Structure 1
């Protein structure tokens, strides 16, 4: 039986990077055609073989002259010069220019011998072989002399420079066709796990699509490397060893995702330990603790966590800088913004925590809105603008505390920030705009609006005391400078499998032992609606609400969106969940109506016009399970 691997002597992120840097030697050079040079890195200094331009040339259409012949020329006292020739761009002048003479030249054309200036055609008049000059010219005016841009023998580009459009233009101007560049590292990518299937295949029970092969390949390409995919390797030692050996023989660096933690089925640590030398196993960071690195035959192998978000975070912080150094590039620190935390977050108890955040631009500065997600979630990185770092010795960072946000890429503020309850129809409307969406439930959205992070919050909270939706909660939270806009009613109901095989008729069936429920998180309007129904049921049965919910299998099983509820039912992980009809029909499930609820938008006054535009678009064509009500498109409350 394989022994469980235990992590010893965890290293810091800095130590992990330094270990890899020791092996970051450029991989040699090659020549590429200039048409393929963009994005590559120069392997040698480029010394100009010619002058640029290679001859004195005119920068305008006009007349080449001896400047001294034009002195004193003006509108009132023009100077007449004899026209002695013409030359176009690409031609070569015959003869020369002396005092009292002019030579017609086109933009880019070479200057004839003797000329030292060009008078723009706008200040001349030609008639009968005579050019009348209405403005004097200074020596060198409108002339680019040979070598004035680049002189022959000058070092124009330095080794290790990344070639952009500007540098490629310089190379072309010098007549260089073959460009010496640093070899790009070929990076082998292996995904491990019996649960993985390639995208495009049909998922069986317990299976997941292989995310890491493709996300890491894109990350390698962004870092200038050449990704080589070796597909999925099952948790079986012979095939595992064969895949690693093949990748090592064909590439310069190997990335393996999965198989690095302390589980008994994990093979990476053991196999790499037998093939070469393990450099470290375990990093004091969350996510990404099980990261390891080894050398086999002088080549670096990095074992990344299997969870997609963990794998990408470690790639971004450790592997990418290593790949850049292999290409003679010094890793630049990520751009940072100083921001204040939207709400408090916990540290990782002795490990450094990397926390994805949305960066929200506000008049008084920036807010960092943490996106909580399990390390297996990939969508959080797609929605995040960057991440914050919580040091190892910090247990908790409080709301309003200043933090550095390290950006994943160039930051572009959103037009609007929508935080609140998820609605499938509204989500499709928002996707057409430059709107950053964060789905945290109705109450989470209202709190974000009160703190100032949200421009618009979506909410559907029923106040049991007044029977009114949404407005009482906005008032109780003391949200100022805001407007509640009626949007539409949504039909909520129990989502069950096609044909309703469990015979579910209402919430009372959730108490059955053979029924598994899937719930929405606390603070969502759907959860509140369910709890209202359950409270009434508990009263009828003469029991407490707490005792009743303990009897429901899956009451504590929570998912983030209505479509996630439908997915859980469709895949058989649950028998029933409460959600909107739209989600049930999206997954081809049956729907048992519970009632209609009012889903509204709460907007800051500054965002009112844009919020009304969104409301108008959302109401234009409503799918089944949605309907207008008397306040649709109207302001229900102003504060």
Structure 2
């Protein structure tokens, strides 16, 4: 922040509730006026006025069954042994205007929905009659009003049918149409300008240069704005230049009712947002940090013409969570509507730590086990884009809570309006083969993949959370894959299905500039590695190799890894390892050959491993699991898999190689 000359200090952190209270005290947030639109254009719009019916619905007495319109009293006493005889004098279809008068002893054939003729007060269902010419035999009596919907019985003239501030969706527009309303007065949509900040950002579709990333927040936030019924205005990307930022904000404030920025709000020397936002006042900045994690550097300002500007975090999942807890309530007031936030109860799959005096927000992926919903916390602060794809919603750990343990019940605020459970949960180690297999599954299958490492998958099967778990855990003593771990960790009531083989090795830059030849080179001072997360099978493999080296050197494993530059730099997938090497963040990492090939990197083989599938026995009859196993053994999948570099299919694929006793 060279133009400000000092680092931003967060003077007063507020809870989200305190922040909103301060915002609503500083500026009047209310609807922006109304407009008249046609009902066919009204989806998602908010009613500006109470709506009263101008007619009765239905506007006439109507039949609710096919049969015969009669005077109910003419049927009293009728039964199968003593039928009543009436004379049929006509027929009434839907939409007719001329109706016959029914007198004593007469009946009229009538269709469902047709108007009741004068004199008739009930309908005898056709099943209880027999007709012979104009003579009708009735074998069951009816009461007055039976099988008849009276005029105004649904909606009466002058009745309030929809209240002000109601969101119009399919049911509401049906009511409007039913009472003959073709134009409706609605709240004007707030126009929301969206700006992404940062020198590193590039718009999707353009070439991605070194050190650059694609702009994500513009599009996720724009859709979040649309989901609230507001109108996003995409302003584009602003660089870390104070004059460019001033110009962009000035244009945004001139054309919109609310401005949302993302990025550029952390307390670093390069951040200009705070200086520019404060210049927009008075009052300028009114909220200078939130007591939440992630989201602490959130900033809210009010311009001199009383328009709000909200600075959101740069990480996409963090920006979306802060949008939900800060921007949604603001837009709700501008739209005269409630916050349509759906929450579900779940229990935590793994421990989630609090934030020591701040409210901790965790995106979570939900798993419907059939015996309740389980929430898997996902990374919020790492900038992981996959979090957006896999997160169903988020949980909040209160400021006063140190941590929530596995099994604790939590409330999940959904990112969408409803929770659609998957019917195939694959939890375990990341694998490109699954990326090939899953799109081949039948259309009825909604698969959810959660990458938590091989050990995480093993425990997910043991706890009954996973349908399928991909494992590649090597036993140090025997060199055998996966089976020893099923036994060691007592994964009862489960089977291990043979999967396929993958080639593991050292992923290095093209041309091998550091002249790396083996795992021993990872100990060199000039080599920086990228490692896999704890519990990952690849981490087990690397640690096994390192323990062998430590044994040869006569030192402890713990002392050896302290000498490895980057050993604690962890990522969750093979492709993330390759990406880190490709981007120059590391000189080497252990991963599969296919990931190296994706990034055009060189590869030093360490050996082949077995990637197998643990499945609970009680899930083997589940339709989605059957489909998974059927595709696993199919020639279509085998041929596609072997087109990936470093993959091969064993003869016993899909066979049970271990079963719990």
After TM superposition, the score normalised by the length of structure 1 is 0.92
Matched-pair contact (CA < 8 Å) for 1:31–1:178: yes
| Aligned CA distance change for structure 1 residues 77 and 252 (closer, same or farther; 3 Å) | same
| Aligned CA distance change for structure 1 residues 449 and 79 (closer, same or farther; 3 Å) | closer
1:18 alignment counterpart: 21
2:543 alignment counterpart: 531
2:316 alignment counterpart: 308
Instruction: Using the TM superposition, give the Cα deviation of residue 334 of structure 1 relative to its aligned residue in structure 2, in angstroms.
Output: 4.0
Which of 355-364 and 588-597 deviates more?
355-364
Instruction: Using the TM superposition, give the Cα deviation of residue 128 of structure 1 relative to its aligned residue in structure 2, in angstroms.
Output: 4.3
Deviations 1:144-193 (A, max 9, x none): 22222211111121111222222211111111000111222211111111
Query: SS at 2:103's partner residue?
Result: coil
Q: Distance in 2 between matches of 1:136 and 1:514?
A: 97
Matched-pair contact (CA < 8 Å) for 1:46–1:159: yes
Query: SS at 1:80's partner residue?
Result: strand
Selected match of 2:9 from 6, 9, 26: 6
Q: Distance in 2 between matches of 1:461 and 1:452?
A: 20
Matched-pair contact (CA < 8 Å) for 2:221–2:320: yes
Query: SS at 1:9's partner residue?
Result: coil
1:107 alignment counterpart: 112
Matched-pair contact (CA < 8 Å) for 1:93–1:111: no
Matched-pair contact (CA < 8 Å) for 1:96–1:114: yes
Instruction: Using the TM superposition, give the Cα deviation of residue 507 of structure 1 relative to its aligned residue in structure 2, in angstroms.
Output: 2.9
Query: SS at 2:436's partner residue?
Result: helix
Residue 646 of structure 2 is aligned to residue 632 of structure 1: no
Matched-pair contact (CA < 8 Å) for 1:49–1:174: yes
2:234 alignment counterpart: 229
RMSD, aligned α-carbons: 2.7
| Aligned CA distance change for structure 1 residues 298 and 90 (closer, same or farther; 3 Å) | same
Residue 53 of structure 2 is aligned to residue 48 of structure 1: yes
Instruction: Using the TM superposition, give the Cα deviation of residue 495 of structure 1 relative to its aligned residue in structure 2, in angstroms.
Output: 2.6
Instruction: Using the TM superposition, give the Cα deviation of residue 508 of structure 1 relative to its aligned residue in structure 2, in angstroms.
Output: 4.0
1:493 alignment counterpart: 505
Matched-pair contact (CA < 8 Å) for 2:62–2:149: yes
User: Structure 2 matches for 1:131-142, cutoff 5 A?
Assistant: 131-142=136-147
1:356 alignment counterpart: 363
Matched-pair contact (CA < 8 Å) for 1:347–1:396: yes
Deviations 1:52-110 (A, max 9, x none): 12222222333333333333344444433333333322221255222122333333222
Selected match of 2:468 from 456, 460, 464: 456
| Aligned CA distance change for structure 1 residues 318 and 84 (closer, same or farther; 3 Å) | same
Q: Distance in 2 between matches of 1:246 and 1:379?
A: 33
Selected match of 1:391 from 398, 403, 420: 398
Instruction: Using the TM superposition, give the Cα deviation of residue 312 of structure 1 relative to its aligned residue in structure 2, in angstroms.
Output: 0.7
User: Structure 2 matches for 1:85-100, cutoff 5 A?
Assistant: 85-100=90-105
* Aligned residues between the structures: 638
Residue 380 of structure 2 is aligned to residue 380 of structure 1: no
1:284 alignment counterpart: 291
User: Structure 2 matches for 1:431-450, cutoff 5 A?
Assistant: 432=441, 433-450=445-462
| Aligned CA distance change for structure 1 residues 132 and 518 (closer, same or farther; 3 Å) | same
Query: SS at 2:607's partner residue?
Result: strand
Q: Distance in 2 between matches of 1:605 and 1:79?
A: 64
Selected match of 2:594 from 582, 585, 597: 582
Matched-pair contact (CA < 8 Å) for 1:494–1:593: yes
Which of 119-128 and 36-45 deviates more?
119-128
User: Structure 2 matches for 1:194-273, cutoff 5 A?
Assistant: 194-273=199-278
Instruction: Using the TM superposition, give the Cα deviation of residue 615 of structure 1 relative to its aligned residue in structure 2, in angstroms.
Output: 4.4
| Aligned CA distance change for structure 1 residues 111 and 544 (closer, same or farther; 3 Å) | closer
Deviations 1:377-397 (A, max 9, x none): 232243233322222223333
Q: Distance in 2 between matches of 1:382 and 1:129?
A: 68
Instruction: Using the TM superposition, give the Cα deviation of residue 354 of structure 1 relative to its aligned residue in structure 2, in angstroms.
Output: 1.1
Q: Distance in 2 between matches of 1:162 and 1:304?
A: 27
1:156 alignment counterpart: 161
Instruction: Using the TM superposition, give the Cα deviation of residue 304 of structure 1 relative to its aligned residue in structure 2, in angstroms.
Output: 0.8
Matched-pair contact (CA < 8 Å) for 1:248–1:254: yes
Matched-pair contact (CA < 8 Å) for 2:341–2:414: no
Query: SS at 1:388's partner residue?
Result: strand
Instruction: Using the TM superposition, give the Cα deviation of residue 292 of structure 1 relative to its aligned residue in structure 2, in angstroms.
Output: 1.3
Deviations 1:322-361 (A, max 9, x none): 212221112356423152x333332212111112233344
| Aligned CA distance change for structure 1 residues 521 and 61 (closer, same or farther; 3 Å) | closer
Matched-pair contact (CA < 8 Å) for 1:619–1:628: no
Instruction: Using the TM superposition, give the Cα deviation of residue 437 of structure 1 relative to its aligned residue in structure 2, in angstroms.
Output: 2.3
Residue 613 of structure 2 is aligned to residue 601 of structure 1: yes
Matched-pair contact (CA < 8 Å) for 1:325–1:331: no
Query: SS at 2:154's partner residue?
Result: coil
Matched-pair contact (CA < 8 Å) for 2:475–2:484: yes
Stretches of structure 1 lacking an aligned partner (at least 5 in a row): none
Deviations 1:360-417 (A, max 9, x none): 4446644433224434223224323332222222333334444333333433443343
